[in-house]
Amino acid sequence: MAARVEARGTLVRERDGSLAWRAEVALRDGAATTALARVEGVHGAIVLEGPPAHTPGPQLVAIGLADVGVPLREGLVEATLRPDGALAVKRARFAFAGGALESGAAVLDPDAGLDAVTLRARDLDLGELLALAALDGLSGAGRLDGELPIAREEGALRVRGGVLRAREPGGTIRYAPTDSVGAMAAARPYDLGLAVEAFSDFRYEQLEARVDGTLDAALTIALDVRGANPGFQNGRPVELHLNLEARLADLVRAGRASYRVPEAVEERLRAFSEGRTSP
Amino acid sequence: MKRGGGRARARLGNVGPSLARRGLGLLGLALLPLGLGACQPRVAVEAPKDPIVIHMNVKIEHEIKVQVDRELEQLFASEKDIF
């Protein structure tokens, strides 16, 4: 772990002769790597007490990047460090695909790691999700919600039974094939060609994606879409059942986007520097 | 609406049977184009209501492989005029 740290505190000798301490710590640009995740851009003004080291209540920490196989950015985590060393997360929120992934209460045990947590997906952008697949010519628009139950299995984070659903009908999926796929479609007009034509300008009424797999390895996405293309067979209804297998982690580990510390955390750091009480 | 219809019948009754018959004949001529129009063939093509069902398996690696469900492939092969 690496970080820029400023601290001030008090050391008190208790009546029984033991020592107790309390420290206010300003953490800037912290980074850490564990078996399950790589974390960067950690900022926070936190209060620690000990021994053993713990926080007297939930502390707010900003996280620029938590790479759990899929990069989660712009995180805001409210958590308590318990005397037993476990981190009790009260709530956490990360930006993802134009929306957010949020978690309720969860416990991260340093020995056991993360056992299980369900991330709620809010208002994800279908276009950004399709962009993760890095399939040339594929684009879309629409908003999705859902749940992604994540558990640690054999040393890796795994999604089991995750579901994302369209918020409302009226979204679009468009596929403009590359020359090579276009040639394949022309050679197979009765199957692939039909599919390509149907999705040249597809308007969905229902969309559901079931997600399973290991975050840093193969993910399987079973996509069920129902809708129509007004320019294809007079708008005849089309149902697509697509099984997509991809190593998303390899595809989405693009360069880190610029990151700004959230105002709530920045204010706590300013208060620390100026010797004020944190809000 | 009902009152209007009643007045029309009353007027036909007042002009006598011959004029009434002539009036009905004119009405029949006026309706003829409508009758002929109804005999014209429909040109609008209505899309079948049953959906086209597409099953696809896509594995994204360095290259993209697309496999179309064998059952679907057989269906298209056996019913080429389905569309």
Looking up tokens 């978690």, which residue turns up?
A103
Mean pLDDT, rounded, for B41-54:
71
Q: Contact A251/B83, CB-based, under 8 Å?
A: no
- Is residue B74 predicted with pLDDT exceeding 70? no
Q: What is the pLDDT of residue A3?
A: 83
* pLDDT for position A92: 93
* Chain A residues in contact with B62 (beta carbon < 8 A): none
- State CA B3 to chain mean position distance: 34
Choice between B45 and A72, residue whose per-residue pLDDT is larger: A72
pLDDT at A85 over 80: yes
Residue contact B60–A235, C-beta within 8 A: no
Higher pLDDT, B82 or A30: A30
Domains of chain A: which residue ranges? 1-118+252-279, 133-246
Asked if the model's pLDDT at residue A204 lies above 70, the reply is: yes
Task: Give the sign of the dihedral formed by CA A151, CA A157, CA A163, CA A166.
Answer: positive
Q: By CA distance, what is A237's nearest residue in B?
A: B51
Does residue A231 register a pLDDT over 80?
A: yes
Question: Which of A41, A34, A108 is CA-nearest to residue A74?
Answer: A41
Q: Do A234 and B46 touch (CB under 8 A)?
A: yes
- pTM of structure: 0.69
More confident residue, A152 or A27: A27
pLDDT digits (tens, 9 = 90+) for A106-128: 887 766 656 678 899 999 999 99
Residue A277: DSSP 8-state: P
Q: Residue A162: pLDDT above 70?
A: yes
pLDDT > 70: percent of chain B: 13
Residue A134 to chain B, least CA–CA distance (Å): 9
Residue A150: pLDDT band by 50, 70, 90 thresholds?
confident
CB of A226 within 8 Å of any CB in chain B?
Answer: yes
Question: Cβ distance A49 to A20 under 8 Å?
Answer: yes
